[in-house]
Amino acid sequence: MSVPAYTFAVIPSQSSPHDAVFRRVLGDPANAASQLRAVLPAGLAERLDLEQLARVSGSFVDPALRWRHSDLLFSAPLDGHDALIYVLVEHQSCNDPLMPFRMLRYMVRIWDRYLTEHPDATLLPLVIPLVVHHNRRPWSGPTDVVDLLDINRDTAEAAQEYLPRLRFLLDDLARVDEHALRARPLTPTARITLLLLKIAPGNSRLADDLRNWADDLRAILARSDGIDEMIALLTYIETVGEAPSDELHDLFTQLGPEAEEAYMTTAEMLRAEGRAQGRTETLIQLLTLKFGPPTPAVLDTVHAATADQLETWTARILSADTLEQVLH
């Protein structure tokens, strides 16, 4: 029987800037494969046919944790069997002491889905857990489920055959210096993404720091989809960093006309998003003043509205007697 294998990597919130750049860049199989080659044990990486890595739909993260965790699922052949690789990224600023348990729960969810899709299966697919941690403080939490059990050493030794064990692989970017990051066999986009996850948040000197990575930045732009990838990276830089805009503009101008075009496109997109967000917040405030706090369904409708809809609905506020008259 063909038995899929699963691998885990990184988690942030679905609406966070960390989540957005993670999914855009590491959701690309070529970028993800380069990261897996760099961090998986060599013997395992060699057995996985990462040239055939493919994205698979699905997320297994608890909804309440999506602000700090992001996950991706891939498939790849392993020793002639279908294999799945699950990547989870940890975005919060402190260690999650229950991460081994959370990883075990996500693995069980994968197995549950597998059994739903393969009701006659009598074997479960292999799952290889990998957590990518990108905050400035090194990971100091447990990496094995057995370390979460409230028992003393003597009891653990007596019961060792019956204790659950799950040790996840950990890629702790806080312990990876720039020299080590350069040495990894990564695509330029994956390398810059990991670098930005590591150094961009709150960094007012980011423009200067990125000058040392000009070759990788130019290599990204040389790719067929390089402009789109650069816009995703620039959106992350502008969202989480604190570098002055003029310094970033100067940096990307020096990288060439395509880089400057990507920077200007990103800046305009962010300004447009800011204007749309302002219209959304204004409409919600007006609806609240006239009709009381909006329900979650109304909030979802307003947040999903186009710019024209927001303008039309805002104009109706003064003359409308009911919420339905505003949003019809």
Q: d(Cα 4, Cα 51) in Å, to the nearest integer?
A: 16
By CB neighbour count within 10 A (0-12 exposed, 13-18 middle, 19+ buried), where does 5 fall?
Answer: buried
Q: d(Cα 84, Cα 245) in Å, to the nearest integer?
A: 41
Amino acid code (one letter) for 212: N
Cα dihedral 54, 6, 10, 30, rounded to 10, equals -20
Whole-number pLDDT of residue 109? 94
For 231-286, the pLDDT digits (tens) are 889 888 888 888 898 999 999 999 999 889 898 988 888 777 766 777 787 888 88
Q: d(Cα 217, Cα 281) in Å, to the nearest integer?
A: 36
- Helix, strand, or coil (residue 204): coil
Q: Tokens in use for 260?
A: 């400057």
Of all helices (H) and strands (E), which one includes residue 197? helix 188-199
Whole-number pLDDT of residue 3? 42
Distances from the Cα of 227 to the Cαs of 88, 100, 189, 233, in angstroms? 26, 38, 11, 10
CA angle 130, 133, 138 (to 5 degrees): 125
Going from the first residue of the chain to its last (328 residues), give the mean pLDDT of each consecutive group of 10, the final group possibly shorter: 43 57 88 94 93 90 77 88 83 80 92 94 86 86 92 88 89 93 95 92 92 94 88 87 89 91 86 73 82 84 80 82 85
Query: What predicted TM-score, i.e. pTM, was given to this entire model?
Result: 0.76
